[in-house]
Amino acid sequence: MQKNPFLAVINNEQTQRPPIWMMRQAGRVLPRYRKLTQVTPFRKIMANPKLAAEVTLMPIEDVGMDAAILFSDILVVPEALGVKVDWTSEGPSFPTPLLSMERPADSLHFELNDLNHVAETLDEIQRQKSPETPVIGFCGGILTCLCYMLGGRDKSMQFTDVVRYLYTNREEATLILEKLTSATESYVHLQAAHGINAFQIFESFAGTISVELYSSIIMPYIRRITAAARSHGLPVIFFPKGFGVGIKTLTKEDCDFVSIDWHTPIVEARKMIDPELGLQGNLEPRLLFASKKDIEKQLKTYIPFFRENPKWIFNLGHGLLKDTPLENVQFVTEWVKNTDWQ
């Protein structure tokens, strides 16, 4: 039997075709998951290792993805630091964002025990999965978590007050960033100790600040997370959404793979990024609402790309959207797996 293509690519081996998985594949579009959430809300599924493991493996069983991603959320680390998160039907809500406090860093106390359920979920995944299925662990990017912790939910997604805070309260912001990074490092070690094969950092809000500011005050913390994962031999995939030409600055110290967002054509991204780094991405998730003919037209453009760039993991340019037709998710997956890429 051929080795799992995701494992092959992260180990720098040649494959006949690119591996495929999709960000936010666990849950969302899957009928079995939708059915489960009718009786058990998201937060309860996440906290229940048996159910969380089942949801983690649904995209493998029901769609045929090449890798599973832990079913959890990036906000479990802020929660374990003491930031209150209410999970509503519209997503997370923050009753007491840190911006409203005088000395917010003092309110943060990390409880690693609050994340025990993730360790148990990963153990349960190991028991339930077939041996060749890789599991991806993850955390939120340091800026993305900081935005939620300080500003709460911002419908505009600009986080202007948070960015302003970074310029006006740098000392306090640094204290928060330090605590958040130490907590995230511990979280990486916890996941690594429970059998993950790769680690992804979801920096969904990289584009809310300038490249210069990101590189100077956030990237050093990202490197610490990467180093923590690498200390266990894990490859790191970094998804800095909206980072734009900032991807030119990324080096081997930052990550092993860069996950490209849908804004940037992947061919252009390849020209900008250090040749030592692999790529992941970047099908526009909203294209999945289009006709199969239009989807296929876009998919075909990846064939010449793969021939020149075999160190590539097929994925979306951001997470799957809730109402995406499952049929089209299956179409893309089958297409990637059955096309002659040579």
> Under the rule (CB under 6 A), what is the footprint of ligand CP3?
23-28, 37, 42, 69, 71-75, 91-92, 138, 144, 202, 204, 319, 322
Identity of the residue, 153 or 292, whose beta carbon is nearer to ligand CP3 in the bound complex:
153
Question: What letters, b where the CB count within 10 A reaches 16 and e where it falls short, cover 225-243?
Answer: bbebbbeeebbbbbbbbbb
142 within 8 A of 181, measured Cβ to Cβ: yes
Angle at 149 between CA 145 and CA 152, to 5 degrees: 110
Q: How far is the CB of 11 from ligand CP3 (least distance, A)?
A: 22
295 within 8 A of 288, measured Cβ to Cβ: yes
Identity of the residue, 149 or 250, whose beta carbon is nearer to ligand CP3 in the bound complex:
149
Identity of the residue, 37 or 249, whose beta carbon is nearer to ligand CP3 in the bound complex:
37
Identity of the residue, 65 or 273, whose beta carbon is nearer to ligand CP3 in the bound complex:
65
142: left (phi over 0), alpha (psi -120 to 50) or beta: alpha
18 within 8 A of 314, measured Cβ to Cβ: yes
Q: How far is the CB of 267 from ligand CP3 (least distance, A)?
A: 24
Q: How far is the CB of 77 from ligand CP3 (least distance, A)?
A: 11
End-to-end CA distance of the chain: 19
Q: How far is the CB of 105 from ligand CP3 (least distance, A)?
A: 22
Identity of the residue, 151 or 310, whose beta carbon is nearer to ligand CP3 in the bound complex:
151
The H or E element containing residue 258 is strand 257-259
Identity of the residue, 201 or 310, whose beta carbon is nearer to ligand CP3 in the bound complex:
201
Measured in residues, the chain has a length of 342
Identity of the residue, 310 or 319, whose beta carbon is nearer to ligand CP3 in the bound complex:
319
The H or E element containing residue 33 is helix 31-39
Q: How far is the CB of 144 from ligand CP3 (least distance, A)?
A: 6
Supply the DSSP string of 82-110, one letter for each residue: T---EEETTEEE-SS-GGGSSSGGGG---
Q: How far is the CB of 304 from ligand CP3 (least distance, A)?
A: 29
Q: Are strands 278-283 and 257-259 parallel, antiparallel or unpaired?
A: parallel
Q: How far is the CB of 342 from ligand CP3 (least distance, A)?
A: 30
Identity of the residue, 24 or 179, whose beta carbon is nearer to ligand CP3 in the bound complex:
24
CB-based closest residue to ligand CP3? 91
329 within 8 A of 64, measured Cβ to Cβ: no
What lies within 8 Å, CB to CB, of 223 at 6+ separation is 253, 254
Q: How far is the CB of 30 from ligand CP3 (least distance, A)?
A: 9
If one counts every other C-beta atom within 10 angstroms of the C-beta of residue 138, the result is 21
Q: How far is the CB of 69 from ligand CP3 (least distance, A)?
A: 4
177 within 8 A of 224, measured Cβ to Cβ: no
Identity of the residue, 176 or 306, whose beta carbon is nearer to ligand CP3 in the bound complex:
176
